[in-house]
Amino acid sequence: MNFSDLRSILQYVPQFRGRTFVVALDGAVIDSPDFSNILLDLAVLRSLNIKVVLVHGAAAQIEALGARRKVTLSNIDGTGVTDEATLEVSMDAITRLSSAVMQSLTTVKLKAATANAIHAHPAGIIKGIDAGFTGTIEKIDSGVLQSFLDQDILPVVPPLGFDADGQTLRVNSDAVAREVATALNATKVIFVSTEDPRQLSTCRQHQWSGDDALAFVDEHPEFASGMASKLRHAARATRDGVPRVHLISSRSEDALLSELFSNEGVGLMVYSDAYQKVRPATRADVDELYLLIHRAVEDEQLIERSRSDIQGAIDDYIVVEIDGNVVGCVAVHPYPESGKAELACLYVKKGHTGQGYGGILVDAALDRGRQLGYGNLFALSTQAAGYLERAGFVRSEDLNLLPEERHEKWSKNGRNAVLLMRRLE
């Protein structure tokens, strides 16, 4: 690791300090060899003063115990019908698992306590069938969880709820994670399972807004049902005010820390709107833009611009930021006398390419051109002509189409950039 990696990790520490993260582990993760790494990662989070609530599922353990006892289970994940025999197996499996989790937490010197914090009622009749002892979460006792957190105790929340009569009900752990996060105003939920959500995704996109995540699940029925459930709960959590929900695999090394301490992460992420923003640049962006552009100049992708060039034309720039960091830019320079405008300085930081940010910036530049009332946008490019053609730009040999002053500059700088034009409807 070099110092710039360390710097980019440390930038998150002040943002996360004192915040609450809900970590939701599938039961299968707890039985896997990956669990010891997860425990160490949880200890790292606590050492950074991040408050952690651990929610766990138990489907794998319920299935295994049912098989050992030769009980035909009506349901293992707390979403369908839970009959009496299944409830008994579930309670036994969940109680054993919770105490195993508590023991493991003590090995990494974390104080922990199981919390019966879920008020539920029987789910009732769903699609004509009585769901039996499956519960719907009514309310989370956030006071209990908060008092544990305030005493530096990590609450472990099993997927069992209790109704007003003291009856135990089986609840779904994805729903528990979402409800706990909402009740505690958590900054994040992190769902950890043994499957790699990126492998399951047929789409290259790894980050969605809540609405886009729901649309993705609806359009991809092949997406594994466990993951689809997590994405749906993730979308609802972001709608209910949780800024970010992550889905990661326990199998990829350092998954938890890589997901949390890098902009792009290693899993899937659902965000509330505040996470990714395309916005006009301001004077406060000048230094960041200068550094960004400077890197591209070294690779001969963009022409040099000084700080004062950028500052003088700052109103022309648009940036895309992730987590408050600028990761790409584009400029629309108007040439009012010729009735044309130039798309220039399109750049996406290395490590963030291939995620659609370039396309987002081109769209933002086209919108800006339209708002300014221009009928055409032109661009001069040495290395991205093919990219701009894909965005609807057309090559032209006729350099007389350029505004005069831009034509002169083109002749002088000797880069032989290709001219591309795009009509703005």
Ligand X SMILES: CC(C)(COP(=O)(O)OP(=O)(O)OC[C@H]1O[C@@H](n2cnc3c(N)ncnc32)[C@H](O)[C@@H]1OP(=O)(O)O)[C@@H](O)C(=O)NCCC(=O)NCCS
3-state secondary structure of 319: strand
For ligand X, the closer CB: 326 or 346: 346
Least distance to ligand X from the beta carbon of 235, Å? 23
Least distance to ligand X from the beta carbon of 80, Å? 40
For ligand X, the closer CB: 68 or 390: 390
For ligand X, the closer CB: 99 or 383: 383
Least distance to ligand X from the beta carbon of 302, Å? 6
For ligand X, the closer CB: 249 or 381: 381
Least distance to ligand X from the beta carbon of 358, Å? 2
Least distance to ligand X from the beta carbon of 26, Å? 32
Give the binding site for ligand X (CB under 6 A). Answer: 296, 301-302, 346-348, 353-359, 379, 381, 383-384, 386-387
Residue nearest ligand X, CB atom distance: 358
For ligand X, the closer CB: 133 or 357: 357
- 304: exposed, middle or buried (C-beta count within 10 Å: 0-12, 13-18, 19+)? exposed
For ligand X, the closer CB: 89 or 348: 348
Least distance to ligand X from the beta carbon of 266, Å? 18
- Tokens representing 190 are 């992190």
Strands across the sheet containing 418-423: 276-280, 317-322, 325-335, 340-348, 376-381, 418-423, 394-396
Give the residue ranges of DSSP H helices in 240-335. 255-260, 286-298, 307-312
Contact between 278 and 360 (Cβ < 8 Å): yes
Least distance to ligand X from the beta carbon of 35, Å? 36
Least distance to ligand X from the beta carbon of 14, Å? 28
Question: What are the φ and ψ backbone dihedral angles of 406, each rounded to 5 degrees?
Answer: -75, -35
For ligand X, the closer CB: 88 or 275: 275
Strands across the sheet containing 168-170: 135-140, 118-122, 160-162, 168-170
Least distance to ligand X from the beta carbon of 203, Å? 12
3-state secondary structure of 157: strand
- 127: exposed, middle or buried (C-beta count within 10 Å: 0-12, 13-18, 19+)? exposed
For ligand X, the closer CB: 147 or 199: 199
3-state secondary structure of 102: helix
Nearest by Cα to 81 from 27, 120, 118, 135:
135
- 95: exposed, middle or buried (C-beta count within 10 Å: 0-12, 13-18, 19+)? middle
Give the C-alpha distances (Å, rounded to integers) separating 375 from 316, 361, 372: 17, 19, 9
Contact between 335 and 379 (Cβ < 8 Å): no
Nearest by Cα to 345 from 379, 311, 321:
379
For ligand X, the closer CB: 122 or 356: 356
